[in-house]
Chain A
Amino acid sequence: MLYFDHCASTPPYDEVVHTMMEVMRTQYANPSSLHRAGTDADKLIERSRTVIAEQMQTKNGRWLFTGGGTESNNLAVKGIAKQYSGRGKHLITTQIEHASVYESFSQLEEEGFRVTYLPVDASGHVRAEQVLEALTDETILVSIMHVNNEIGSIQPIEEIGKLLKRHPKVIFHVDAVQSIGKLPIAVEEWGIDAVSGSAHKLRGPKGVGYLYVRDGITVYPLFTGGSQEYGFRAGTQNVPAIVASAKALRMSCETMNARQQRTNVLKQQLIRMMEEIPELKLNGGEPAASHIVHFSYPGMKPEVIIHMLEQHGIIASTKSACSSKENKPSRILLAVGATLEQAAGGVRISFGDEHTEQDIRRLGEALRLVVEHLKPLERRLT
């Protein structure tokens, strides 16, 4: 079986599994306890933070651990909006954010915030000037994702961050769940104030999210009941998963350049093969992450494609895992101007370290066979 759903989750490193097991077995004390077993566990969390800060080259902020990428995004967006609502009630984001950001903003709208959802162009990108144009005196938060989770488009985070440096009262949050450990992100140099990440997207365990918060910024907590994580996130920390997540992040970052080069070659190879199948339409455009290829088969339900690929031993995905069970056209594809038919038929291929050119050949061949098989049924399934 070939697993091509790295955007949804990744196979953990063996070393990460090993760390998780050892720490779970030996460091079971509560890290908030005063006794030595507790302070030892607490030090493991602190060391994990320093490992992450070192890899991400941050000096002027703190890395918090949450229960996952979705929680990090919720905490950043709602926590910052609520904390700074005294300064203003205007927020800016894009139309193509992950549901955990997008729906956080919808909730905030219900609570009386005004939200500008920036549109993207046909390649799936916002421009930095759009952000500037949307700014008002009331704006307190700009939240823009780095790599889109469906089509892989890379947003001009560096440019936006540098422009926003001239607006020090506007806090800039970046959802980097799909990019940390996969492409470079110079958090502090680019002027980013908060960054979300997720360990299981970079070959770490599920149940750990990262959230960088620049010094001087306070986040209104979603949970109360303890002073863990600088008081921003109450609840006993998941020590084994946190330590393992630091290891996964380090290993991913250390191999990032080589991975980018490899996945870039694989992506080009896959695109060349897909161009020979005229029924398939590639979605999104450059600049885009090298580990994601997204296409539509207009007139064909994506579930059918997914199931047929599975018969060929290939695992792929329809849109985002978080919204894949909803039977609706993709909000993101509609935002890039896809037709309703195209937006309903999106399939995402995302790959990583274990894949070879031979795997991509198998994938391309399977796609050809699936399309050949389904061709007579086009537009007949509803």
Chain B
Amino acid sequence: MLYDQIVLRYGDLTVKGKNRNRFEKRMLEQVKQSLCAFEHITYFKSFGRLYVKLNGNPYEPVANRLKDLFGIVTLSPVVSAEPDLEKIRAAALELMLSLPETPATFKVSAKRAWKKFPHTSQEMNHLVGGHVLRAMPELKVNVNKPDVELRVDIQEEATYLFYEIIPAAGGFPYASNGKAMLLLSGGIDSPVAGWMALRKGLELEAVHFHSYPFTSDKAKEKVIELAKRLSYFSGEPLKLHLVPFTEIQTTLAAAKSDNLIITLMRRAMLRITEQLAERSGANGIVTGESLGQVASQTLPSMNVIGRAAELPLLKPLVMMDKQEIINVAERIGTFETSILPYEDCCTLFLPKSPSTNPNLRIVEKVESLIPQYYELLNAATEGTEVLVLTPGSQTAIQAAGEDSWF
């Protein structure tokens, strides 16, 4: 096997001044956690980057996992060589010969970060390039637009050779920017909002409202699948709060304010989520709302709904088009699950013409007339079931029947 290491480069977090150390430490933990399925991997930390030493593991599955991890801007598979001219030349040639397609042109870009190495960067370009050219005479040098740029990074501990720079997910490492609750419905948008929040370094706990028997167990299983997918990206277990919403929903439906029912439901959801946030120590609520998408997502609706909560409401999709959201959903692998046709509580009791411009005072008045409104909210919070999910958590199908039957 050619590649013995993968170098990871940090982006956003390296600019964080005094916090850099903390971020880098967090990042190392993240990488370790996400690669725990691979044996014998070791790590070497240097300024603004991390070297993952494969120690016999194949490169691709490790790189594929790391590509989805937040906080890494780019990664490169590298061949390391001892800081010795002949060894570097041999490694350079081996790398060039291993290319899937022999390029027409190339150039060497050497960088001597370790100044005690006897040859300068300029000299190294010629010394390494000349060696490759002698062995591969059909190859030409092109310094402006080479097909392949062979980089030689001379550090004290080793020299690293690579030609690929692969973009990764970017963002911040998990939980480096605080904690928030995510409203996870089971639709297309909220998992994307969750992914974007995770990418910004938020630690998340997901909240889902279900109205059994008006909604089915399959709707719940779908949300569990989505939460598991999100926990793959965070690299950490994800808590999913399953809130029983049937009582509240049927009570609101009986309030005879059909055009306001969505507004009332959303306000109740925010209030319950805030109670859960209080217990979990979360400082914000992430939703998948996108401006103008449905009646409850017009600006007047957002205003009236949002006033039910005091915590900041984070809406990463607010200015995105539906198609852009779908594109992300497809890329992060939540789209197929999201479009499974199981009704969730948000589509129950939908009125014919939901208000796009609800009046705050009327909404507050209707709420004040609902008997035991806050008791109902508290009961829902109390009745919430919490699941801790990881990408490997058993699905309902994997748990079906007795293991011994299979």
Contacts and interface: CB of A to CB of B under 8 A. Distances in A.
B405 A19 contact: yes
A36 to B, nearest CB: 8
B369 interface: no
B405 A40 contact: no
What band does the interface of chain A fall in when counting residues whose beta carbon is under 8 Å from B? 10 to 19
A197 to B, nearest CB: 17
Nearest to A49: B397
Contacts, number: 38
Interface string B198-217: 00000000000000000001
B402 A246 contact: no
A169 interface: no
A23 B396 contact: no
A328 interface: no
Interface string A244-269: 00110010000000000000000000
Contacts of A187: none
Given A19-B404, A243-B401, 7 more contacts: A22-B402, A22-B405, A27-B401, A46-B397, A47-B398, A48-B406, A250-B406
Interface of B is mostly: loop
A50 interface: yes
Contacts of B405: 19, 22-23, 44, 243, 247
Q: Which of A27, A44, A246 has the most CB of B within 10 A?
A: A44
Interface string A74-94: 000000000000000000000
Given A51-B406, A246-B406, A247-B406, A44 B217 contact: no
A43 interface: yes
A61 to B, nearest CB: 15
B401 A23 contact: yes
Contacts of A44: 400-401, 405
Contacts of A23: 401, 405
A40 B406 contact: no
A50 B401 contact: no
6 interchain residue pairs of minimum CB distance: A43-B400, A47-B400, A46-B397, A19-B405, A44-B401, A47-B397
Contacts of A39: 217-218
10 contacts: A22-B402, A23-B405, A39-B218, A43-B396, A46-B397, A47-B401, A47-B406, A51-B406, A243-B405, A247-B406
A192 to B, nearest CB: 23
Interface in A1-50: 19, 22-23, 27, 36, 39-40, 43-44, 46-48, 50
Contacts of B396: 43
Interface centre among B218, B396, B397 (most CB of A within 10 A): B397
A48 B402 CA distance: 12
A48 B397 CA distance: 9
Nearest to B400: A43
B211 to A, nearest CB: 17
Nearest to A244: B405
Contacts of B400: 40, 43-44, 46-47
Contacts of B404: 19
Interface of B: 217-218, 396-398, 400-402, 404-406
Contacts of A250: 406
B401 to A, nearest CB: 5
Interface of A: 19, 22-23, 27, 36, 39-40, 43-44, 46-48, 50-51, 243, 246-247, 250
Nearest to B397: A46
B231 to A, nearest CB: 20
A132 to B, nearest CB: 26
Contacts of A27: 401
Most central of B218, B402, B406 by chain A CB within 10 Å: B406
A210 to B, nearest CB: 15
A243 B397 contact: no
Contacts of A46: 397, 400
Nearest to A250: B406
Contacts of A36: 217
A44 B404 CA distance: 12
Contacts of A19: 404-406
A22 B401 CA distance: 10
Contacts of A246: 406
Given A48-B406, A247-B406, A250-B406, A43 B401 contact: yes
A41 to B, nearest CB: 9
A50 B217 contact: no
A40 B402 CA distance: 11
A44 B403 CA distance: 11
A183 B397 CA distance: 28
A174 B100 CA distance: 32
A49 B80 CA distance: 44
A43 B397 contact: yes
A71 B401 CA distance: 27
A39 B399 CA distance: 13
Contacts of B402: 22
A47 B401 CA distance: 9
Contacts of A51: 406
Contacts of B406: 19, 47-48, 51, 243, 246-247, 250
A42 to B, nearest CB: 9
Contacts of A22: 402, 405
B210 to A, nearest CB: 16
A14 to B, nearest CB: 12
B222 to A, nearest CB: 14
A32 to B, nearest CB: 14
A28 to B, nearest CB: 13
A243 B406 CA distance: 7
B123 to A, nearest CB: 47
A216 to B, nearest CB: 14
A246 B398 CA distance: 13
Q: By CB atoms of chain A within 10 A, which of B400, B404, B405 has the most? A: B405
